[in-house]
Structure 1
Amino acid sequence: MRKRLRAAGALLTCLLLLVVSGCATVPEESQARVISSGGMATPAPPIPEPDKDLDALGVVREFVSASAQPSNDHNRARLFLDPPSRSTWRPDRGLTVMEEKFDTVYSPSQPEDPNRRVVLLRGTNVGKLGPDSAFIPLRDSFERPVQLARQPDGQWRIVSPANDIVITEPDFTRNYFRVPVYFFATDRNSLVPDLRYVVQKPQSGLPGRVIDLLLAGPSDFLDGAVNNPLGQASIDQNVSNAADGAVVVPLTGVSEQSEELKRLIVAQVVLSLQSVTSSRIRLLSDGAPLVPGREEWRASDLPSYETSSSPSSDLPGLMISGGRVRSLNDGAPVPGPAGSRAYDVVTAAQSVDGKQLAVIERQDGRLWLRVGEFGSELARTELNGDRLSRPTWRPALTGTGEGGELWTVVDGSQVVRVLRTAQGTWASQVVNADSVRSVGPDISAIRLSRDGTRAAMVVTGRLVVVSVVRTADSVSLRSPRVLQETRLSDVTDVDWANQDSLVAITGSTALPVVRVPVDGLRLDQFNLSNLTPPLHAITAAPSRPVVVADREGLWTASEVGEVWTPHDHSLPLDTIPFYPG
């Protein structure tokens, strides 16, 4: 509702400006705020007319290509419409993205009028760009009838075009630019990137378009999962370039906020803009510096918001081998019962801060969860089952200094979070995962993002991402999205490479290790050299090499194209590596 109100207010402002001044300073693109060049505007080059004498099939194909250029209210695409449609067509803010190869064929049912044709546009969806400018993965085939009429000059033109624009994936990547806009985790302890797509041209308008997205709030996927200090803010004037080169962001509605909240807003704005400009950011609130005494900011001026969500370099990671927990650094058993084989450890997880350890042990034919301080006796909880997935930790909350919540999946169906009680014991609470079960009946792996706002899961062999939405007394997994569904059908394990990308292993010999952004738009395949499929475990973390396990031992690689090299302390057969988290 707030997004709709802001959009209506912006429209009313534009109408008032036109009535009062009659000038043409309103941004040309509805989703953009144009940055002034500081001089006379350069006239737009004339748009070339479509090639003459295209048949109806060619007109539809060219219309699809032109639709990828949204500037000037899709003027290029409008040239392929008949005159009435040119003035009445109102394209949706979102669009459908299909594979590069698509077909245009004449429909078997054609009008009797020889000056009318129906062309079928056939393709395979890659996904949709929603009204919130976030990409939504979707794989299915579609067929759309397109009606055309021969004009008095003999040219075929589209009549009554659909408002849902369809473009190809290559055209999408050429014309739209991916930007992370930042919000905070619910405890405001770490920043969360929300991947969105903005029109690339004109480049001078990129900062303004990013600010528009930021002020509109989180994407539908993350709505309810993140905190937005900018929730009451709006833009006072257009984002602009100052004469000294700084990008000026004039906010309003935030002057009464605390200085602490204003500094969070600074972080949101500056980090969201860093992918589209290297200029200084001049942040104003009602014409004055947003933070008193400090007008301009760069990303290097900000404190780190990743301390709680990224493992320290002092924590090298661990591995399970022979029923005991060992260090990835030197292969030595860790101190305490978990390293001495007092427990028959099947899998384990270390908290992000390194202070806590959770292990799944096998005892009397069942699996049990134990949790406690790293290096000490681990208390056995009441949680048990025939199958327990590798645990995953929520990052430490502000002020507590230690992790107090971990998750696992019981018997492939029940997602459970285990909480530290006031008495120091651990209690289980079922997480609402009804939406995930709609994807498939078996959940074999779950990894919380290290900022705690998303979870990556393996559901019946599919790679799935969900948002984690918390209320005062419950937690729900919402908006499941299957990533690269047609190419990844036999995923076996997953981990977070960083806050907005995943690495996964599959049962496929052609795609044993892949990297996928959290929105699933693309897939990058790791080098195949030296690996012996099938792989059975993977771990990753920011600024750490990816580690995978096959039947020969552990292998590491830092980049997608890098040849896998043996880990210095590799152990064969049953080894399971894991970084904190």
Structure 2
Amino acid sequence: MTPRRRFTATLAGVLLLAGLTGCGIPKESEVKVDGQVAAGRAGSSSFQRDEPLSQKASGTDRTAFVTNFLAAAAGEADRAYYRVKQFVAPDGRNQIQEKQPSEVALTVVRLREAPVITETTDGVKVTIKVQQVGLLRADGTLVPPVATESEYRFKLSAAQEDKPDAGWYVTDPPPNVLLLSDDALRRYYRTHPVYFWNTDRTRLVPDQRYLPLTVPNERRVTEVVKWLTAGPSEWLGSGTSRLPDGTRLINNATESDGQWEVNLDMPVDADDKRVEQLVDQLAWSLPELDGRLELKIHNQSRKQVSDLSDHRRANPVYPLVADPQRFCVYDGAIHPLNFPGEPSGGVPVIQAVNKDVVSAGFSRSGDDLLAALVTAGPDGRQRLTVGVGAEPVSIFQQGPRSYAAMGRPVWLRSPGPARPQGLVVADGRLYRFEGNAQLRAVPLTVQGEVTSVAVSLDGHRIAVIVGGTLYVATVNLNGGVVSVGPARRLATSLTDLSAVDWAGENILDLAGSAGRPAIYEISVDGALETALRKDVGARVTHLSAYPLNLVVPFSNANLMYEANGVAYRNNPFDTIKRDQVLNVTPPQAGVRAGNPTAPFFLY
């Protein structure tokens, strides 16, 4: 199937799921579900656009009532207080101080254990122990949490003493807070990416938003355009560009006979290039739409797109052209991996440098291949070697300094072929490197030992583990100097974090401990977690993922990792065996074969 036909077929299937399902990260999944975006995964909510269950829906079941109470605020902001008040005893509703819909913010929490419900002489008491996840605003952004409480307590009373089926009331709800469980976020919202240009307006950067399932299809376009005109999430601000100040939507977006019309008011006239870039933003921020689009500014038609699907194909959000290839390290050298139905070729670096390798990172930049190798010397100390050029890369520079330990090097996939750059962790610090392999420290806004770094598909966001905590931050390449914006801390159930990589536009794969070594999938804001594998068996020391996307979809296992010197892949989780490694000499009789290690993707 040609890339164009494959894109069209996958886009249709994925967007059916993305447009009709909920947030889509299942609570638990031992096998990674085939899909391209989080919204298409199993475990999402139904196609119905219902509001949360009512106060009476739980009947006499107190646990179900508490679950429903923690979902009551979900949905469109203008009805959040009304829905919550239905769960509160009438004499206590006046104590809830309402805000304007635009100011409504929901406190998203992750329950650490099941609610504890006890009967006492003072009534039925409920205790919920929580992890603060974030604050969900009316504009669909999830910002870092404001509340610091690790538990909440409230009481229950019968709604009607003589009618048990009338359900329960909360008699003293937590003050000044609208609680929303992460389960309710998953069930009553869909994740929806919107795209903003980076600071030099050469690459689109995705921003995750949450759209209530109750929003009808005909209003989704309006909501997305409002998000674009309001600007990116706060943590992306330093690495992205906004529309001109004062840009706003005139009336709602409208659809007639298969054509959408978006009419904007802008304080200054936009030139043709700016208009074209705005159309790119709209096309990718509304991937479920095909057909025609007309963009007006000040009621004057500025751009007409005859087919949004064709526009996306002609203006891909990422410079990807082919399926990813798998590689690993075997006996100190890089080798391709062979899996049915996947591309596989030779090693894209010359044999002279392909020795004593500990880990590696490859990337493509136009016609060039970018190669970064971490090699070990006789004393065990590690050094970075970098090469850039046509395959097989033959000219390499070795870094002047060695380190006790280095992580897997990663390339910044950003349009700047004349000066490719990458990141690597060495002896607990984050460094950047260029073609000369010299390492230069990259300052972070948080303190602690750095143990892992990963770069997003757009090249302008990183995930980094610092001091055992997961953070995300934007990356700027102004003047060719890598600078990292303020780091945003992400809440996760895992402890002892050891490795991270991007598994999608707004999804991370994260290794740590959940009592036992585990691998979770986590959204870029920390709100949605999935247990991919609860018991890995040993601490994960190396992790690599192919970020699922709509430009070059990939239906096979997109995660590989190493634990206890053994390499694995997912879907299903299985070891990567020696006979899946190409171009190796079989071991002599009586000699035990080595294990493939440090697997990684080239894309």
Q: What corresponds to 2:266 in structure 1?
A: 253
Check whether the contact 1:431–1:477 (CA below 8 A) recurs between aligned residues. no
Q: What corresponds to 1:455 in structure 2?
A: 462
Q: Deviations over 1:538-579 (max 9, x none)?
A: 32224454333456864444x4x5766757327843522222
Correspondence list, 1:345-356, <5 A: 345-353=357-365, 354-356=368-370
Correspondence list, 1:323-338, <5 A: 323-328=332-337, 334-336=348-350
> Structure 2: which 5+ residue stretches go unaligned?
1-49, 163-167, 339-343, 585-593
User: Residues 267 and 105 from structure 1, CA distance in 2 versus in 1: closer, same or farther, beyond 3 angstroms?
Assistant: farther
Check whether the contact 1:469–1:478 (CA below 8 A) recurs between aligned residues. no
User: Residues 474 and 578 from structure 1, CA distance in 2 versus in 1: closer, same or farther, beyond 3 angstroms?
Assistant: closer
The count of residues paired between Structure 1 and Structure 2 equals: 506
**Which amino acid in the other structure matches residue 301 of structure 2?**
P
User: Residues 352 and 495 from structure 1, CA distance in 2 versus in 1: closer, same or farther, beyond 3 angstroms?
Assistant: farther
SS in 2 for 1:66: coil
Correspondence list, 1:369-380, <5 A: 369-374=384-389, 375-380=393-398
Q: What corresponds to 2:296 in structure 1?
A: 284
Q: What corresponds to 1:304 in structure 2?
A: 315
Q: For residues 176 and 300 of structure 1, what CA distance do their matches in structure 2 show?
A: 29
Tell whether 2:237 aligns with 1:226: no
SS in 1 for 2:580: coil
**Which amino acid in the other structure matches residue 367 of structure 1?**
Q
User: Residues 511 and 232 from structure 1, CA distance in 2 versus in 1: closer, same or farther, beyond 3 angstroms?
Assistant: farther
User: Residues 409 and 574 from structure 1, CA distance in 2 versus in 1: closer, same or farther, beyond 3 angstroms?
Assistant: same
Q: For residues 463 and 125 of structure 1, what CA distance do their matches in structure 2 show?
A: 15
Correspondence list, 1:152-171, <5 A: 162-171=175-184
Q: For residues 475 and 119 of structure 2, what CA distance do their matches in structure 1 show?
A: 46
Q: Deviations over 1:188-216 (max 9, x none)?
A: 33322211112221424332222222221
Q: For residues 157 and 550 of structure 1, what CA distance do their matches in structure 2 show?
A: 47
Q: What corresponds to 2:417 in structure 1?
A: 401
Correspondence list, 1:71-90, <5 A: 72-74=78-80, 75-79=82-86, 80=88, 81-82=90-91, 85=94, 89-90=98-99
Check whether the contact 1:326–1:334 (CA below 8 A) recurs between aligned residues. no
Q: What corresponds to 1:66 in structure 2?
A: 72
**Which amino acid in the other structure matches residue 262 of structure 2?**
V
User: Residues 203 and 182 from structure 1, CA distance in 2 versus in 1: closer, same or farther, beyond 3 angstroms?
Assistant: same
Deviates most, 469-478 or 122-131? 469-478
What is the aligned-residue RMSD (CA, Å)? 4.4
Tell whether 2:223 aligns with 1:209: yes
Tell whether 2:109 aligns with 1:98: yes
| Greater relative contact order (Cα < 8 A, sep 6+) | 2
Q: For residues 213 and 85 of structure 2, what CA distance do their matches in structure 1 show?
A: 20
Q: Deviations over 1:415-470 (max 9, x none)?
A: 111245xxxx45543211141x2xxx332221121312211223455544333356
Correspondence list, 1:175-194, <5 A: 175-194=188-207
Q: For residues 282 and 86 of structure 1, what CA distance do their matches in structure 2 show?
A: 48
Tell whether 2:492 aligns with 1:479: no
Normalised by the length of structure 1, the TM-score is 0.72
Deviation at 1:235, TM superposition (A): 0.8
Normalised by the length of structure 2, the TM-score is 0.70
SS in 2 for 1:222: helix
Tell whether 2:359 aligns with 1:359: no
Tell whether 2:549 aligns with 1:537: no
**Which amino acid in the other structure matches residue 399 of structure 2?**
T
Check whether the contact 1:56–1:157 (CA below 8 A) recurs between aligned residues. no
User: Residues 313 and 161 from structure 1, CA distance in 2 versus in 1: closer, same or farther, beyond 3 angstroms?
Assistant: closer
Corresponding residue to 1:518 among 514, 524, 537: 524
Q: What corresponds to 2:26 in structure 1?
A: none
Aligned residues with identical type, % of pairs: 20
SS in 1 for 2:581: coil
Q: What corresponds to 1:496 in structure 2?
A: 502
Check whether the contact 2:142–2:525 (CA below 8 A) recurs between aligned residues. yes
Check whether the contact 2:249–2:263 (CA below 8 A) recurs between aligned residues. yes
User: Residues 297 and 122 from structure 1, CA distance in 2 versus in 1: closer, same or farther, beyond 3 angstroms?
Assistant: same
Q: Deviations over 1:73-94 (max 9, x none)?
A: 3323334354882895227522
> Structure 1: which 5+ residue stretches go unaligned?
1-43, 111-116
Q: What corresponds to 2:441 in structure 1?
A: 430
Q: What corresponds to 1:322 in structure 2?
A: 331
Rg (Cα) greater in structure = 1
Tell whether 2:578 aligns with 1:573: no
SS in 2 for 1:320: strand
**Which amino acid in the other structure matches residue 284 of structure 1?**
K
User: Residues 352 and 461 from structure 1, CA distance in 2 versus in 1: closer, same or farther, beyond 3 angstroms?
Assistant: farther
SS in 2 for 1:382: coil
